[in-house]
A and B are shown apart, each in its own frame.
Chain A
Amino acid sequence: MPETATALRELTFGEAIREALAEELRRDPRVVLLGEDVAEAGTAFKVLKGLVEEFGKDRVIDTPISEPGFTGLAVGAAMTGMRPVVDIMFGDFMALIMDQVANQAAKVHYMSGGKWKVPLVIRTTMGATRRSAAQHSQSLHAWPSHIPGLKVVVPSTPYDAKGLLKAAIRDDNPVVFFEDKISYAKVKGPVPAGDYTVPIGVADVKRLGRDITLVATSSMVQVALGAATMLEEVGISAEVVDPRTMWPLDETTLVESVRKTSRAMVVDEGYYRYGVTGEIASVIAENAFYDLDGPVRRLGARHVPVPFSPVLEDATVPTERDVFELARKMCNR
């Protein structure tokens, strides 16, 4: 842990994000927050509660319900001296802003021969099981990860969330930052009170193990850790690796873990097809093929629009039991 980071407190995932934003707003006058109901309401998830009281409405700015408009504005503001942090309430609304993100923000630096920079952060959410149905439940972090020029961050713990968000705000590139809605209040963990960053592009081994590597992202890290505890009881030692950023992707840490354990499963809450699990599985297969005892296996969100009814929705997201059972099969136990 960096020396400047002092006292550790238990914070929720949401509190850690608020603290990162507050510290960056204090540190750098060019940082502004833009989004729907970010000021007095503190967002629909109340994550930004209190920030407008400290920083005022010039820094914590309520927008109309115009996602493509204020995201595009933030791209231009980022190019010309500010460091905007845009709040996109639901990850599903990535669909509305994708032109500004993929065709504008991602391309500006390259197309200008490296002359313009876009130090922009887009914070948005992901994760199902809130009974919010098909247009408010998707985990679309694979989308921006597909586009060269964007960095994509998917933190799973309060510590990582604070450190990575500060790193994202200080980065000179557009960064899309996905926050799991369920984790906001549910996931708690130690967070230093002071300033620190977590570098973008470095994975973290969340649990050491010998028999199988569970590569898990965002919401699925807790699921993988839960499964690892269950596996322990049947004598299987699972290592849990959290890439923390989709791009840049820390291939070295992933591959090293798999070389050691010789088995790999990738668990992610995005859609199973054409997504994160496929990409990570192929990285492992390409780099650790001869160390593997069997094919890399994947668990992702079922390839259906997220249904409303609890009995249906629960069948769409990987659970601890799903991970446990598949891991057992892979270890022949």
Chain B
Amino acid sequence: MTTATRQAAAGLDVETLLRMYRQMAAIRLFEERVSDLYTRALMPGLAHLYIGEEAVAVGICEALRPDDYLTSTHRGHGHCLAKGAAPHLMFAELLGKEAGYCKGKGGSMHIADPATGNLGANAIVGGGAGIATGAAFSSKWLGTGRVAVCFFGEGALGQGVLYETMNLAQLWKLPVIYACENNLYNEYTHCSETTAGDMLARPAALGIAAERVDGQDVREVHAAASAIVERARRGEGPGFLLLDTYRYRGHHVGDVAREYYRPKQEEQRWMSERDPIALHGDWLVSEGLADRAALERIQSEVASEMDAAVEFAVKAPYPDPSTVDEDVYA
């Protein structure tokens, strides 16, 4: 299939195309506010921003049903938002407030929300592999037709549990998609120094349907995801997407001096030539599906939404210290 026919087959109506633009803008503006809150010492802990990678989460999550599952990572805000999380409850969690998704117990790296199928972000690299594969196992066992997406960075290719669970998934034809976000760096080390051989040869060795996708092209991500998700839903087995992408900022907000591990020009090149939001916006305009004013309107609507969400979270109360002992057991 050509790119165009596959995108057509994925059923991209104008409404979906515009929603994808809005969702990407929402993630970007969410993360910019996270950076700001963090820098102003209003947000405790660590903040790993998803800026630059928005098309991956949005393209994939737009191909999912609301009741489909996902597991996320330390860089997880984008996945959670794309799957339908409410920004004000996310910000509240990031600030450790009672109103947050996890009552302040999880924080940035552990957003979980059963209502949107979010099994939880995970601060152990590769930590979602077992959980996502298990959700696919239960989907098959219970006959719910749900698909599970396991998001992880290319750094998780170092973790043995990933290969163990991929083997199980293929043996038992489980509806799970392994979404490998290759942003080129495991923390401060280039992936070429940590990854032998060909990334796609790994799922291929297990006979898992696998594809390399331009992770900056939201329509292409969506088309590839739609095909592989539906295949999994039909019971034809797991899939693996290798998504080429880039994180614009540091590994976390405090990682400012980065020249020792990646050149400024490389960052500039991705930002100016491969920005997922700009690329999709330009395409919408060139296809006559939106004009610049419409895109700007979306941006400013999302911005006010995010400002209101931040305000909610900043004003929200902290949990009562006595709640520390709650939720240890079910």
CA–CA, A93 and B122, complex, Å? 13
Residue pair A132, B158 in contact (C-beta under 8 Å)? no
CB contact between B187 and one of A44, A134, A303, A310 (< 8 Å): that residue:
A44
Residue pair A65, B319 in contact (C-beta under 8 Å)? no
Given A130-B45, A308-B107, A315-B194 contact (CB < 8 Å): no
CA–CA, A69 and B96, complex, Å? 35
Residue pair B187, A309 in contact (C-beta under 8 Å)? no
The interface centre, meaning the residue of B110, B158, B319, B324 with most chain A CB atoms within 10 A of its CB, is B324
- How many whole Å from B189's CB to the nearest CB in chain A? 5
- How many whole Å from B321's CB to the nearest CB in chain A? 5
A311 contacts partner chain B, Cβ-Cβ < 8 Å: yes
Contacts of B122 in A (CB 8 A): 135
Q: Which of B13-21, B57-65, B123-131, B233-241 contacts A (4 or more CB under 8 A)?
A: B123-131
Residue pair B106, A308 in contact (C-beta under 8 Å)? yes
- How many whole Å from A67's CB to the nearest CB in chain B? 8
- How many whole Å from B156's CB to the nearest CB in chain A? 7
Specify the chain B residue showing the minimal Cβ separation from A63. Answer: B194
Residue pair B186, A65 in contact (C-beta under 8 Å)? yes
A40 contacts partner chain B, Cβ-Cβ < 8 Å: yes
Given A65-B186, A131-B44, A315-B321, A308-B110 contact (CB < 8 Å): yes
Given A41-B261, A312-B321, A135-B123 contact (CB < 8 Å): yes
CA–CA, A41 and B190, complex, Å? 12
B141 contacts partner chain A, Cβ-Cβ < 8 Å: no
By secondary structure, the A interface counts as: loop
CB contact between A136 and one of B123, B158, B328 (< 8 Å): that residue:
B123
- How many whole Å from B120's CB to the nearest CB in chain A? 11
A268 contacts partner chain B, Cβ-Cβ < 8 Å: no
CA–CA, A303 and B329, complex, Å? 11
Residue pair A308, B104 in contact (C-beta under 8 Å)? yes
In A46-68, which residues have CB < 8 Å from any B CB? 62-66, 68
Residue pair A307, B104 in contact (C-beta under 8 Å)? yes
A102 contacts partner chain B, Cβ-Cβ < 8 Å: no
In A161-207, which residues have CB < 8 Å from any B CB? none
Residue pair B105, A312 in contact (C-beta under 8 Å)? yes
B304 contacts partner chain A, Cβ-Cβ < 8 Å: no
Contacts of B102 in A (CB 8 A): 308
Specify the chain B residue showing the minimal Cβ separation from A39. Answer: B189
Residue pair B155, A65 in contact (C-beta under 8 Å)? yes
Residue pair A37, B188 in contact (C-beta under 8 Å)? yes
Specify the chain B residue showing the minimal Cβ separation from A311. Answer: B318
Contacts of A311 in B (CB 8 A): 96, 104, 318-319, 321
- How many whole Å from A89's CB to the nearest CB in chain B? 9
Specify the chain B residue showing the minimal Cβ separation from A312. Answer: B324
Residue pair B158, A65 in contact (C-beta under 8 Å)? yes
B300 contacts partner chain A, Cβ-Cβ < 8 Å: no
Specify the chain A residue showing the minimal Cβ separation from B123. Answer: A135
CA–CA, A44 and B260, complex, Å? 14
Contacts of B144 in A (CB 8 A): none
- Give per-residue flags for B306-330: 1 if the beta carbon is below 8 A from chain A beta carbons, else 0: 0000000000001101011100100
Residue pair B328, A303 in contact (C-beta under 8 Å)? yes
CA–CA, A65 and B194, complex, Å? 8
Residue pair A64, B186 in contact (C-beta under 8 Å)? yes
Residue pair B188, A310 in contact (C-beta under 8 Å)? no
Q: Interface residues of B toward A: which range? A: 35 or more
Given A64-B194, A303-B328, A40-B319 contact (CB < 8 Å): no
In A234-274, which residues have CB < 8 Å from any B CB? none
- Give per-residue flags for A302-333: 1 if the beta carbon is below 8 A from chain B beta carbons, else 0: 11110111111011100000000000000000
Residue pair B188, A41 in contact (C-beta under 8 Å)? yes
CA–CA, A96 and B125, complex, Å? 11
B109 contacts partner chain A, Cβ-Cβ < 8 Å: yes
In A20-44, which residues have CB < 8 Å from any B CB? 36-37, 39-41, 44
A283 contacts partner chain B, Cβ-Cβ < 8 Å: no
CB contact between A62 and one of B194, B260, B323 (< 8 Å): that residue:
B194
- Give per-residue flags for A291-311: 1 if the beta carbon is below 8 A from chain B beta carbons, else 0: 000000000001111011111
A133 contacts partner chain B, Cβ-Cβ < 8 Å: yes
Contacts of B280 in A (CB 8 A): none
- How many whole Å from B315's CB to the nearest CB in chain A? 16
- How many whole Å from A317's CB to the nearest CB in chain B? 11
Residue pair A133, B319 in contact (C-beta under 8 Å)? no
B97 contacts partner chain A, Cβ-Cβ < 8 Å: yes
Residue pair B158, A62 in contact (C-beta under 8 Å)? no
- How many whole Å from A28's CB to the nearest CB in chain B? 26
Contacts of A133 in B (CB 8 A): 45, 105-107, 109-110, 123
- How many whole Å from A123's CB to the nearest CB in chain B? 18
CA–CA, A299 and B155, complex, Å? 38
- Give per-residue flags for B150-180: 1 if the beta carbon is below 8 A from chain A beta carbons, else 0: 0000011111100000000000000000000
Contacts of A39 in B (CB 8 A): 189
Contacts of A134 in B (CB 8 A): 105-106, 110
CB contact between B158 and one of A66, A93, A130, A303 (< 8 Å): that residue:
A66
- Give per-residue flags for A54-90: 1 if the beta carbon is below 8 A from chain B beta carbons, else 0: 0000000011111011000000000000000000000
B295 contacts partner chain A, Cβ-Cβ < 8 Å: no
- How many whole Å from B245's CB to the nearest CB in chain A? 18
Residue pair B187, A41 in contact (C-beta under 8 Å)? yes
B46 contacts partner chain A, Cβ-Cβ < 8 Å: yes
CA–CA, A311 and B107, complex, Å? 13
- How many whole Å from A133's CB to the nearest CB in chain B? 5
CA–CA, A311 and B127, complex, Å? 27
B273 contacts partner chain A, Cβ-Cβ < 8 Å: no
Q: Can you list 7 A-B contacts (CB < 8 A)?
A: A63-B194, A64-B158, A64-B195, A132-B45, A132-B46, A304-B324, A309-B97
Q: What 3 A-B pairs come out closest when comparing CB atoms?
A: A308-B107, A309-B96, A309-B104
Q: Apart from A135-B122, A310-B96, list 13 A-B contacts with CB within 8 A.
A: A39-B189, A40-B260, A66-B160, A93-B124, A131-B45, A133-B106, A134-B106, A135-B124, A304-B325, A304-B328, A309-B105, A309-B319, A311-B318
Interface residues, chain B, CB within 8 Å of chain A? 44-46, 96-97, 102, 104-110, 122-127, 155-160, 186-189, 193-195, 260-261, 318-319, 321, 323-325, 328
